[in-house]
Structure 1
Amino acid sequence: MTVTKPPTAAEDTAPEETGTRTAGRGRLVLRRLVRNRLGLGGGMFIVLLFVGAFVSPLLYPWDYRTQDDYALLMPPSPEHWFGTTKLGEDLFAQCMRGLQKSLLIGLLVGVISTGVASVVGAVAGYFGKATDRALMWLVDLLLVLPSFLIVAILSPAFRGKSWLLLVLLLSAFGWMIASRIVRGMTLTLREREYVLAAKFAGMPAWRIIARHIIPNMASVLIIDATVGVGVAILAETSLSFFGFGIQPPDVSLGTLIASGTESALTFNWLFTFPSGLLILTVLAVNFFGDALRDALDPSSKRARVRSKR
């Protein structure tokens, strides 16, 4: 005679109820996001920026390194959409190349910083005691250090090497504040019933953190990553503007703005187009981040107002 073990409450309801709950929340978040026109426009503009930065070089006849000796400092025209530099380089091609670097660096720094913050904050909050004190001491130390100055000092040592080193430098100083937020939330989540049940069942600590702690902070982490992208783009542009970031012969929005500053009142397109792209990019990221916050945070007043319309 075969005895069938009755499923536990968690086994019986978890797949169906969790799937239904996740789908329902996903539809609610999407509805809130769609109704936020400013945020939706920002998200669509970010997509257009990525498409333009990575697809247009394949279709545009000019390369960012090519020089047109017959078009030196020419204003925008059908042949050169953003005009040319004093060496005859096509500014549109250079802006798209610079936008590639800024978007990639911003995206990577935002994701890496949020990942480090979630791990450090969750580990500190879950284990507490000596682990918490040691990690928070490290966070406080890094918060005191002048990150921009340190990156500026270290970046010349990596001159001529991969720009991914700049991503690591920016990521190393971009996770501390978020880790404190994650730690505070973990202190609350570790006392929840499902976390205590998993602990008493013998589940390893790393698995509890990965399956029960961090997923319940997903909305906060997504918002932090989105905001971090905009901050990282500004940081990379600032470093490149002062000569500490992307180095020639490569270009970024920061190097283009720096080279066009002296011509801002004479050959204004050299300054207007790179700086305009930077402003629009950061604004789009911030608008999209605000929309995500309103859509993911059920306590957001603006989200409730939009969902009732």
Structure 2
Amino acid sequence: MTVRSLTVRRRSRRAVAGLVLLALLFSLVFGGPLVSPWGWDGTDFTAFHQGPSARHWLGTTHSGRDVFALTLRGAQRSLLIGLFAAVIATGLAAVVGTAAGFAGGPLDRTLMWGVDLLLALPPLLVVVVLVPRLSGGVPVLVALLAAFMWMITARMVRSMTISLCEREYVLAARFLGVSAPRVIVRHVLPQLASLLAVDASLNVSVAIIAESGLSFLGLGVRPPDVSLGTLIADGHGTVAARPWPFGFAAGLLVLIVLAVNLLGDGLRDVLDPAGGRG
């Protein structure tokens, strides 16, 4: 076995560890409600702020709701919001970056001016101003998160596209009259696949953390629905006396972010061995 193959194998362990942990978390989050005796919106009027027991595996909240069911529901919301926001942000970065780099000229300048404008806006201030005026719920939250996550990647994609457009096979395709969209799809995007895959995976954890922070502040997921951020906000006031509502939600959030980051770092090291870390 060569030194290069040993290095790639060692670096791939992080990706495998992250993938396994993420698969286990997905199984727990989406399979756990099937075996739970309580629904996330159910209330036990005989158990308020009780600790973990055979009846309530992770205890109950101050309103008698099952912490296990609530935590899994919150994790489902946070995971789905993170996944959708990451996919939208990476897709937008790919479209804008390749269009700007391939077209050049006025379109390039216009798109990059828009990117610079968005980079200059403070995301939290924009969210604070817009969220109270919007009633779209989770879809609007996903759109807002994605809107502030794609600009730096778009600049990277633009730079790589400009470099790829100087390759012989791209110049030959354009000289033969192949349409711009077809050249981008067949010759440019495949070369950017590793960058976009890593960016999407890492954006998931960024989106989950951002959503949890906004929900903690009351600007994200709204009651009666829950996310990990709302559960942490509800439980942080009683964490010293009754830590289970806060502790399980915070612990699950840490595990999800850890798994996604391990997967993203591992993918980056495997797909870019020269630039990856040892």
TM-score by length of 2: 0.94
Secondary structure class of the residue paired with 1:278:
helix
- Residue number in structure 1 paired with 2:125: 149
- Residue number in structure 1 paired with 2:81: 105
Measure, in 1, the Cα distance between the counterparts of 2:137 and 2:115.
27
Q: Does 1:174 align with 2:135?
A: no
2:169 corresponds, among 181, 194, 217, to 194
Letter in 1 for 2:70: Q
- Residue number in structure 2 paired with 1:66: 42
Deviation at 1:156, TM superposition (A): 1.9
2:109 corresponds, among 117, 121, 133, to 133
Structure having greater relative contact order (Cα 8 Å, sep ≥ 6): 2
Q: Does 1:239 align with 2:214?
A: yes
1:253 corresponds, among 208, 225, 228, to 228
User: CA 1:167–1:301 in 2, change beyond 3 Å: closer, same or farther?
Assistant: closer
Mean CA deviation greater in 46-55 or 273-282: 46-55
Secondary structure class of the residue paired with 2:100:
helix
Whichever of the two has the greater Rg, that structure is 1
Letter in 1 for 2:12: N
Measure, in 1, the Cα distance between the counterparts of 2:171 and 2:14.
42
Q: Does 1:203 align with 2:178?
A: yes
User: CA 1:87–1:301 in 2, change beyond 3 Å: closer, same or farther?
Assistant: closer
Measure, in 1, the Cα distance between the counterparts of 2:271 and 2:74.
32
Q: Does 1:76 align with 2:52?
A: yes
Measure, in 1, the Cα distance between the counterparts of 2:11 and 2:163.
32
- Residue number in structure 2 paired with 1:215: 190
Measure, in 1, the Cα distance between the counterparts of 2:20 and 2:192.
26
Secondary structure class of the residue paired with 1:191:
coil
Q: Does 1:93 align with 2:69?
A: yes
Letter in 2 for 1:267: R
Deviation at 1:39, TM superposition (A): 3.1
Deviation at 1:73, TM superposition (A): 0.7
**Cα shift readout 1:203-250 (whole Å, capped 9, x = no counterpart):** 111111111111101001101001100000011101100001100000
1:280 corresponds, among 255, 263, 268, to 255
Secondary structure class of the residue paired with 1:86:
coil
- Residue number in structure 1 paired with 2:270: 295
1:33 and 1:39 in contact (8 A); partners too: no
Letter in 2 for 1:251: V
Determine what percentage of the aligned residue pairs are the same residue. 51
**Cα shift readout 1:248-307 (whole Å, capped 9, x = no counterpart):** 00000000000001011111112111111111111111111000001111314546xxxx
Q: Does 1:268 align with 2:218?
A: no
**Cα shift readout 1:160-215 (whole Å, capped 9, x = no counterpart):** x4411111111111100000000110110000011011101111111111111111
Aligned length: 274
Letter in 2 for 1:81: W
Secondary structure class of the residue paired with 1:266:
coil
1:80 and 1:92 in contact (8 A); partners too: yes
